[in-house]
Chain A
Amino acid sequence: MREKKVKNLDMKQYGMVVALIAVFLIFSFLTKGANMTPMNMNNLIMQNGYVVILAVGMLLCVLTGNIDLGVGSMVALSGAVIGILLVDYKVNIWIAILAAILVGLLSGVFVGFFVSKLGIPPFIVTLATMLMGRGLTYTVLQAQTKGPFPNEFTYIGAGFLPTIKVNLGGRPIDVISVGVAIIISVLILLAEFKDIKTKEKYGFATNPLWQIAIKEIVILAIVWFIFSKLATCNGIPFVLVIMAVLAGFYHYITTKTVAGRQIYALGGNAKAAKLSGINTEKVFFWVYTNMGIMCAIAGIVLSARNGSSTPKAGDGFEMDAIASCYIGGAATAGGVGTVIGAVVGAFIMGILNNGMSLYGWSTDIQKIVKGAVLLGAVTVDLVTKRKKG
């Protein structure tokens, strides 16, 4: 009989989730529960969709030890392409979407080329694309707003999955939302079960059962809290689907694939990565190309939600995305960070924004608080790490 090995859960990676819950609870206390209403939960998700998408793409750049400053401009540019195609040329929405993604792809390739082939620092290249992209957006839009868009298109940003409402104690509940929540819960539990099984099969150390139980209860509680709110509102927003798919996909890439591992290795020590046979140029190229595509997706979601394209769209989004990654535990030097962390970071920012608006603070004050939170989060992270040595 093999000795059963047990090791404690690494709490560090859950610290962000705890912070997220804390921030949410603080604001629900301050706003007397106003941020907990079904409608507000719905808004939280729909308002932050684009930040989450950008943060996920940005995380890969941050993992290499760099950032992409051109993100906001690229969001605007891809939105502008959609606006012109839908309003001026009345093309099919799929063609418009494809065109927007193509524009994002090209802008990503552009950055990737300068960064990887010519070795220009990403900070400079993306500072340039930030200016160029914004200027280009104003030029093609002739400084005007394009709209409105057909309903099939705005569905992407403002629509909901079909609902089946059932009356439960006098309140209409969406059965689809409940069903999805059940499916997610089962999948989470199955994944955990499978994980334990493989660990036992290989004789690896497993976490104590009570710790696993607490972890799963917290995760399931969050899932059910969100979905119960959504079920009593309009159902599942389509943006949530996009977000979940992208976050899931990139979580998979960064944690389970060779490509993901190469990004971490490059960010941790580029010279060692290169001498281990990793084509660092190629990694850089794809990370920035990918960021371009993510900008296009965010641009699509944003213009769909607004129902129009404006030249000012996406202003400052790069900072939100970068801040999300750092709040989510990524290191400025590169090599450290997770997709989940970036998503949680994006939601911490979102909950802050949302809570402060409900509480009645002006956007000016909000900026001060957001800056302080970013500084505080990174300071705490670094100082505790230094103490551990």
Chain B
Amino acid sequence: MSDVILEMKKITKEFSGVKALADVQLSVKRGEIHALCGENGAGKSTLMNVLSGVYPYGTYTGDIIYNNEVCQFHNIKESEAKGIVIIHQELALSPCLSIAENVFLGNEQTSVKGVINWTKTKSKAKEMLAKVGLEDENVNLPVNLLGVGKQQLIEIAKALAKKVELLILDEPTAALNDEESKKLLELMLELKKQGITCIIISHKLNEISYVADSITIIRDGKTIETIEKEKEDFTEDRIIKGMVGRELTNRYPKREDVKIGKTIFEVKDWNVFHPEEAERQMIKNVSFHVREGEVVGFAGLMGAGRTELAMSIFGKTYGQKIQGSIKMHGKEVRIKNVKDAIQHKLAYVSEDRKNYGLVLIEDIKRNMTMAALKKFFSKNGVVNKNEEILAANKFMKKINIKANSIDQKVVSLSGGNQQKVVLAKWMLTQPDVLILDEPTRGIDVGAKYEIYCVINELAKAGKAIIIISSEMPEIIGTCDRVYVINEGEIAGELNEYEVSQEKIMQCVMAHNRKGE
């Protein structure tokens, strides 16, 4: 019996000229758990967004055949009406509303049109909760009193309330601890028994091999292969091979004439707790160092704690109860806020340029000088606009920002050029140590190359550079040394010669097993 519930044929999706998906094929059998694997940025979430109508019909090419019917979804409502429900990584719950209200969010139980029938809402909510193993919860409580794990289950209850046939889970366990993850996976198996088909996106290969019936591997926006459990064993090595097996051409410019000098940045026994949940330790006893002219990578999966580590170091912009020591040029320094960090020649380029890197409504020039204004472009608190313009023009040329002029608002720039503006902003503070968090996220290949060139230039100038990246080839292609980070700890350190995607994944897996 190979009853196919969903078939996606030749799906192609472009973002401003960059192909995120190219002729992707996906075929899902009724009643199975189908896993989508691939590196970050491979196009898994994009594919699911195409399926659920987040990217409406017409913005992509290709066919979606669902229940033997060609579908053209224009929004999420249309796909949900057919029984396709997607649960995104960021939960779509309204935190202050009750559990019952959230279960029927957008699907309210009404008696007369527009008037909520509370009795029905609550009794039905209880029913749905029982299906996901939360029968003991009080449906009147606001959801934000529940932990992330239970909130995830509420999301599933919400999907069940919509009479889901095909449930899509995007990294459902990324924010969960082991016990919660286990519970969720058991629930998936239970739903399978009830005949619900599931697509799961996950980086946790052990989980996938536990629940999935078949795996489709996507790499660089293309379908690589589909492995079926009946035919082949799901060993982690087998999956990794499929995910990784790419040839590395020279997507990464060579670094020449760079002398790695003495250690200039050293962090010892760094401990950080979650900003809201004081008991939850996010970073545990992390120690690392970076040398002059060295490019060091922080590899790991999403949610491993790399950004949290970087931001807690950069002026305590993340977390609480931060402990540990930082040494710059061998001298211990205390960095209480961002100003101190800049003063000590530390720079951090955020992974989220739109929210944390740029003032979108301002022009290129003002964004570039934002962090360095006080130190380098002003005297007695008065801005030297002429020097500012000169510097902005110089950097625009130097790192090849494509814009009409430095007076152009950054909101109108492409992702790659925006990223360059953020880079320029921090280069202008004349740092010794730069932490680049996902420096090439969401930008095209050409701009990536240019950013790698800038990184090389910086290394050549004797800066110490830390690159946080979820794209393993990027880490391997650009770094001299790699720390593998997993669950807030350093899971391993690999030098230039031993680093490979397999090795990184092995470090993560070994560390995961140790935790279990």
User: Which A residues have a C-beta under 8 Å from some C-beta of B?
Assistant: 7, 198, 202, 204, 256-259, 261, 264-265, 268-269, 271-279, 331, 335-336
Are B358 and A272 within 8 A (Cβ)?
yes
List chain B residues, Cβ under 8 A from A198.
386
* Residues of A contacting B389 in the complex (Cβ-Cβ under 8 angstroms): 202, 204
A-B contact count (CB 8 A): 80
A269 with B383: CB separation less than 8 A: no
Q: Is the CB of B361 within 8 A of A336?
A: yes
Q: Does B338 contact A (CB under 8 A)?
A: yes
- Asked if B339 is an interface residue, CB under 8 A from chain A, the answer is yes
How many residues in B have their beta carbons less than 8 Å from beta carbons of A?
Answer: 33
Q: Which residue of A lies closest to B317 (CB)?
A: A275
Q: Which of A257, A269, A335 contacts B381 (CB 8 A)?
A: A257
> CB-CB < 8 A to A331: which residues of B?
361
Verify B361–A335 contact, CB threshold 8 A. Answer: yes
| Structural contact, B337 and A279, CB atoms closer than 8 A | yes
Given contacts A258-B378, A264-B362, are A275 and B357 in contact (CB under 8 A)? Answer: yes
Partner of B341, one of A272, A277, A278: A277
The 5 closest A-B CB pairs, nearest first, are: A268-B359, A276-B371, A277-B338, A269-B359, A276-B370
Cα of A277 to Cα of B357 in the assembled complex, Å: 12
Q: Point out the residues of chain A lying under 8 angstroms from B461, CB to CB.
A: none
Q: Which residue of A lies closest to B374 (CB)?
A: A258
Segment at the interface with A among B147-155, B279-287, B348-356, B494-502: B348-356
Q: How long is the Cα–Cα vector from A274 to B148 in the complex, in angstroms?
A: 28
**Complex Cα gap A51–B366 (Å):** 31
Is B360 close to A, CB under 8 A?
yes
* B359: contacting residue among A202, A257, A335, CB under 8 A: A335
How many Å from the CB of A193 to the closest CB on chain B?
A: 16
Tell me which residues across on chain A come within 8 A of B158, comparing CB atoms.
Answer: none
Assuming the A-B contacts A202-B389, A204-B389, are A272 and B361 also in contact, with contact meaning beta carbons closer than 8 angstroms in the complex? no
Residue of A nearest to B379 (CB): A258
- Asked if B381 and A272 sit within 8 Å, CB to CB, the answer is no
**Interchain CA distance A261-B385 in the complex, whole Å:** 11
List the B side residues contacting A335 at CB < 8 Å. Answer: 359, 361-362
Cross-chain pairs A/B with CB under 8 angstroms, 19 sampled: A202-B386, A204-B386, A204-B389, A258-B378, A261-B366, A261-B370, A265-B359, A265-B370, A269-B359, A272-B357, A272-B370, A275-B317, A275-B348, A276-B370, A277-B315, A277-B374, A278-B338, A279-B339, A335-B359
Query: For residue A259, which residues in chain B have a CB less than 8 angstroms away from its CB?
Result: 381
Residues of B within 8 A of A273 (CB): 359, 370
Q: DSSP class of B's interface residues: helix, strand, loop or mixed?
A: mixed
Could you tell me if A261 and B373 are in contact, using CB atoms closer than 8 angstroms?
A: yes
Q: 1/0 per residue B364-398: CB within 8 Å of A?
A: 00100011011000100111011001100000000
A187 to B85, CA, bound (A): 68
Q: Give chain A nearest CB distance to B382 CB in angstroms.
A: 5
- CB of B78 to closest CB in A, whole Å: 27
Residues in A neighbouring B339, C-beta threshold 8 A: 277, 279
B348 to chain A: closest residue by CB: A275
Q: How far apart are the CA atoms of A172 and B55 in the complex, in Å? A: 75
Please pick, from B315, B348, B381, B386, the residue contacting A258 in the complex, using a CB distance under 8 A.
B381
In the complex, the chain B residue whose C-beta lies closest to that of A266 is B359
- List, in ascending order, chain A residues with CB within 8 A of B360's CB: 268-269
Q: Specify the chain A residue showing the minimal Cβ separation from B385.
A: A256
Measured between beta carbons, the chain A residues less than 8 angstroms from B359 are: 264-265, 268-269, 272-273, 335
CA–CA, A274 to B338, complex, Å?
7
A265 to B362, CA, bound (A): 8
B355: which A residues are within 8 A, CB to CB?
Answer: 269, 271-272
Task: Assess whether B383 is in contact with A256, with CB atoms less than 8 Å apart.
Answer: yes
With A258-B378, A275-B356, A277-B342 as known contacts, state yes or no: A268 contacts B386, CB within 8 Å.
Answer: no
User: How far does the alpha carbon of A271 sit from the alpha carbon of B370 in the complex, in Å?
Assistant: 13
CA distance A332 to B385 in the complex (A): 27
Contact of B383 among A261, A265, A275, A276 (CB under 8 A): A261
Q: Is B30 close to A, CB under 8 A?
A: no
Chain B residues in 8 Å Cβ range of A257: 378, 381-383
A199 to B, closest residue via Cβ: B386
Chain B 129-165, CB-CB to A under 8 Å as 1, else 0, gives 0000000000000000000000000000000000000
Kindly state the separation between the CA atoms of A283 and B304 in the bound complex, as whole angstroms: 34
Across-interface contacts of B348 in A (CB, < 8 A)? 275
User: Of residues 397 to 431 in B, which have CB atoms within 8 Å of A's CB atoms?
Assistant: 405, 425
**Alpha-carbon separation in the docked complex, A275 to B358 (Å):** 10
- Do the beta carbons of B371 and A277 come within 8 Å of each other? yes
Cα distance A210–B382 in the bound complex, in angstroms:
31
Per the bound structure, the CA–CA distance linking A202 and B389 in Å amounts to: 9
Contacts of A279 in B (CB 8 A): 337, 339
CB pair B350–A275 under 8 Å, yes or no, is yes
A77 to B135, CA, bound (A): 59
Q: How far is the CB of B320 from chain A (nearest CB, A)?
A: 16
Taking the nearest CB of chain B, how far is it from the CB of A65, in angstroms? 11
Considering the chains assembled together, what is the distance between the CA atoms of A96 and B357 in angstroms?
A: 48
Most chain A Cβ neighbours within 10 Å, of B341, B370, B381, B389: B370
Q: Is the CB of B338 within 8 A of A258?
A: no
Residues of A within 8 A of B314 (CB): 275
Q: Are A269 and B358 in contact (CB under 8 A)?
A: yes
Q: Can you name 8 extra interface pairs (CB under 8 A) apart from A198-B386, A268-B361? A: A7-B405, A204-B389, A258-B378, A261-B370, A269-B360, A271-B356, A274-B338, A275-B314
Question: In this complex, which of B357, B359, B378, B382 has the most chain A Cβ atoms within 10 angstroms of its Cβ?
Answer: B359
| A279 to B, closest residue via Cβ | B339
Smallest distance from the beta carbon of A97 to chain B beta carbons, Å? 27
Cα distance, A272 to B341, chains bound together (Å):
15
- Report the Cα distance A198→B341, complex, angstroms: 35
Q: Distance in Å from the Cβ of B286 to the closest Cβ of chain A?
A: 21
- Given known A-B contacts A261-B366, A265-B359, A335-B361, A276 and B385 have beta carbons under 8 A apart: no
Taken together as a complex, chains A and B put the C-alpha atoms of A22 and B95 apart, in Å, by 50
When distances are taken between beta carbons in the complex, the residues of chain A under 8 Å from B425 are 276
Q: How far is the CB of B310 from chain A (nearest CB, A)?
A: 11
Who on chain A is nearest to B350 by CB?
A: A275
The residue of chain B having its C-beta at the shortest distance from the C-beta of A268 within the complex is B359
